[in-house]
Structure 1
Amino acid sequence: MQYLSPFTTIKLESLLAPRTGETKLGQRVHIPTATDDLSTVLAQAKAANVRFAIIGIGEDIGPRANLGRGGSTDAFDSAMKQFLNFQSNRFLTGTQCLVLGQIETTDLQLPGSSTAEQLRHNVEQLDLRVIEVLTRVMQAGLEPIVIGGGHNNAYGLLMAAKASHKRPIAAVNLDPHSDFRPKEGRHSGNGFSYAAASGALGIYHVLGLHELKNSEATLEQLKAFGGHWHTFQQIWVRRELSLETALKSITKELNNSSLPVAVELDLDAITNMPSSASTAAGVPLLDALHYVSYVAKHCPCAYLHLAEAAPSCHVAGLDAGYRETGQSIGELIYSYINGRINAL
């Protein structure tokens, strides 16, 4: 499959820990067959009443092109190890899901000595792959859940959603950074500003924007676009309004637009989450889960994007990073799926 490394039976068996008398999600999900092309895999999944396509993007060239830390290459594997070992039961059987695989990035990864210019060139090449694969997934009628890599991939996702839905997309992003920085070459800090300039982004709301982690120029540019935000300090520090009040306001704004909604979450918003820009003062994981669940339930969602998790950046090492990011992303995936299945 061009630009896609399919999730194989061998890969599934390496992650699955079956138990006698139990059925795990990994024993019920759909995976591609090695002999089929992408169009066939997607058509077969749709015919089997699959709704969600889970896709990884294992790269860190976007964060590094933004002069940040690397490490956001393994989030998909860590997440699948947890998610596929959840129980298949009355709450979620797993048959609604296709674990498609990862967008191929191996040839785009660059050594640590690479310049920002070289990295940004390769981010542009990655954009094309994300747009190509995700457009086909969405046009097949499946709802993507995209894991891993930098937040640079929001641009490709929004472009694919626009091509599939044939109109701009309304996006909400739980993130201390607006990622609306100047168009200075592609990186993880300007996916939304590039999408806005291309016409793919119709409405943009940032939840949990940190008041001191966005430059005045970026805030002014976001304001000029018509973007809105609730800050981290308003909700979690000064308690000027509740998360519930903010979510009701945001979903009302998004739904009034009558546009498909992109649900974005930068894992570095969550307290102590291993990521390219981890923070000690962040959003509790339970609030992030509620955010995903609430928007998924109350809005006509186009996709879920979980970006920037970096297991190797955990202070206790890679194994601990795999456990924490895997468990967190697994719970976020289920929160989204459950919200969409029970959407109002």
Structure 2
Amino acid sequence: EGRHAAALELLEAVHARHADDVQLLALLGAAKTALGDAGGGRAAYRRLLDLDPKSATGLYGYASACAAGSDDAGLRAALRPALAADPGNALAQALLARLQELAPGEAAARAWFEELNQALPDNLALLEFEGRRIERQQGRQPAAIYYGGLRRRQPHEQLWALREVELWQQAKEPAQARSVLVDWLRWHPDDDTVRAQLAAMMLAAGQNADAKAELERIVADNPTRVSALNNLAWLLRKDDPRRALRLAERAVRLRPEPRILETLGEVLIAGGEYVRATEVLQYAALRAPQQPSIRYQLAVALAGQQRKEDARRLLKELLAGDTRFAERSDAAALLKKLGG
């Protein structure tokens, strides 16, 4: 409600009765820091760390309070144990950036980071921070090459492969991105997350046979992976509509999101079940009215039922603006076919 002073007063009153509750200390530290009392935040987190010296919440909270109070020396000292305890913490990158901001100059910043690197060699947070610096200062390709080096240096760390792929894709080098995924899977064949990304990349490139092979393997190993079920159902909708329907229905049961419902609608259209497709797509369109592709598929289902006037009206609404969507030319062709 914006009643910050009252909230803090209540917290402090409870804390007075439960001085050693670590969850309460974490909440009190966060509140004091957020409300501009960095010293009070540090005190609360310091007490938390007295009770639980290895608490990542306490370590990162104390570092955050130092950052909020522009205490560069305190932040430097606090970051080292925090990064050692949990290099993947969501606050790590922001705190490293704040440390760089607080440095009195570039030379001091370099010295501070070198000190951290020597104390924590191969720390994931520090390596990631360096990668983002290279991307910012030199561009995506040099950063992708940097992450490729990390991938070879730490061959079991998935993060480097995913970051390298992301950067090659952003640099519009899909062949490089694909080669990274293929190489990763050669050594980590059970990594369904990366295999699903490879399959999605193949789908986008129109390499349907290759994508199908990857998706079949994922579904065989993990029959509850929704993205694989959804994409495989879409691929099979014309060649094997019965199996496609089973896969799509399973995906919807697991995650009834609009995009998953849209695939089920397309599968039903491919199988000639226009009435049920209309019901599914109407529900999806209500859930995601901003998605023109769902409304286009709904128009197809309506046209399949010979509800031409309803389909024409929907297509005209879709095409009235300048919204871009993949099926726009198909929508225009369908409207023309329906006499629109």
Higher helix share: 2
TM-score bin, normalised by smaller chain: under 0.3
Structure with higher Rg: it is 2
Give the TM-score, by structure 1 length.
0.25
Give the TM-score, by structure 2 length.
0.26
- Report which structure shows greater RCO (CA 8 Å, sep ≥6): 1
